């Protein structure tokens, strides 16, 4: 067999042992590249600070988030979570080296497709539940579940959670109350309530609402008041083909009160599994690992 390493031509841009390839994504504060790890002979993804657009204090904050994410999620090894290999500071650059996942974020995928087919949505949310159950089992609350933080490969049907930059350990006080407001649970805005694993359940329910309907569960006008006191527009009025069982599942995941929600990501997953078996028996949608499901 020919060694693929010999076929590779040196890239014009390298950082450390990594040869940068194509840019995979760009935000206001960061860049993500596909790169080649010359030592391990594998493709990786590298996330780095977009320094030219930020001031010194903002750069410092992003770098702190890099190291926080690596400490929080660097030990994770689960098929539905993007693996972090390393976080590096070489004196000039600070960057995270991660598993390269073909595909795109679920947010970008939806820009091309619009609302997803029910079976595809169920498969994605089921896999996210498994990833969350694993993270929660290891004492970590993600705190920013949303389509933009889910990598998805539609051909392979694989979904993976990513970006634990504002996650916190269950036993520690949460970081400053930041996140993506469109998916945030009521407890974010109620000083008498705590951020718990159920906060992630709510955010994943909000994500499910979004990928089924194409709409955000709460509008950009007076959002906090809606999250605290109002229900989203009924799914039936936006997507008549969604079954009652599935609507009830989304509503339960997004319940205002903790006691009315699924009490774990594993419980949420079991309900998705029941619906898949009901609507799509023998479909192969449940081929993901069931570890941490009996918690």
Q: Which of 188, 196, 182 is nearest to 148 (CA)?
A: 182
Q: Which residue has the tokens 């078996």?
A: 277
Is 144 among the residues known to form the active site?
A: yes
Structure tokens at 164: 């634990």
> Three-class SS string for the chain?
CCCHHHHCCCCCCEECCEEEEEEEEECCCEEEEEEEECCCCEEEEEEEECHHHCCHHHHHHHHHHHHHHHHHHCCCCCCCECCEEEEEECCCCEEEEEECCCCEEHHHHHHHHCCCCHHHHHHHHHHHHHHHHHHHHCCEECCCCCHHHEEEECCCCEEEECCCCCCEECCCCCCCCCCCHHHCCHHHHCCCCCCCHHHHHHHHHHHHHHHHHCCCCCCCCCHHHHHHHCCCCCHHHHCCCCCHHHHHHHHHHCCCCHHHCCCCHHHHHHHHHHHHHHHCCCCCCCCCCCCCCCC
What is the rounded CA–CA span in Å between residue 240 and residue 2? 54
Which region, left, alpha or beta, applies to residue 16 given φ > 0 means left and ψ of -120 to 50 means alpha?
left
Out of 144, 248, 258, 260, pick the active-site residue.
Answer: 144
Q: Radius of gyration of the chain from Cα atoms?
A: 20
Residues belonging to the active site: 144
């Amino acid at each position: 067999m020919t060694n693929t390493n010999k076929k590779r031509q040196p890239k014009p841009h390298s950082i450390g042992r990594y040869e940068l390839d194509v840019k995979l994504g760009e935000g206001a504060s960061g860049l993500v590249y596909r790169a080649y790890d010359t030592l391990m002979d594998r493709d990786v993804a590298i996330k780095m600070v977009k320094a030219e657009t930020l001031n010194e204090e903002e750069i410092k904050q992003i770098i702190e988030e890099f190291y926080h994410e690596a400490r929080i999620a660097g030990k994770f090894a689960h098929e539905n979570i993007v693996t972090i290999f390393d976080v590096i500071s070489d004196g000039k650059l600070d960057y995270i080296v991660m598993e390269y996942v073909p595909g795109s974020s679920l947010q970008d995928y939806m820009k091309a497709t619009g609302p997803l087919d029910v079976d595809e949505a169920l498969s994605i949310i089921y896999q996210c539940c498994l990833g969350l159950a694993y993270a929660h089992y290891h004492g970590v609350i993600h705190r920013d579940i949303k389509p933009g933080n889910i990598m998805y490969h539609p051909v392979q049907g694989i979904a993976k959670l990513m970006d634990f930059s504002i996650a916190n350990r269950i036993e520690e006080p949460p970081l400053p109350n930041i996140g993506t407001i469109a998916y945030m649970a009521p407890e974010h805005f109620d000083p008498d309530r705590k951020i718990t694993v159920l906060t992630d359940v709510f955010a994943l329910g909000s994500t499910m609402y979004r990928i089924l309907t194409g709409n955000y569960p709460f509008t950009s006008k007076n959002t906090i008041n809606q999250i605290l006191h109002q229900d989203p527009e009924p799914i039936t009025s936006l997507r008549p083909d969604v079954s009652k069982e599935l609507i009830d599942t989304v509503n339960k995941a997004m319940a205002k009160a903790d006691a009315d929600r699924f009490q774990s990501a594993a419980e949420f997953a079991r309900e998705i599994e029941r619906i898949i078996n009901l609507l799509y028996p023998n479909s192969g949608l449940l081929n993901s690992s069931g570890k941490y499901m009996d918690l």
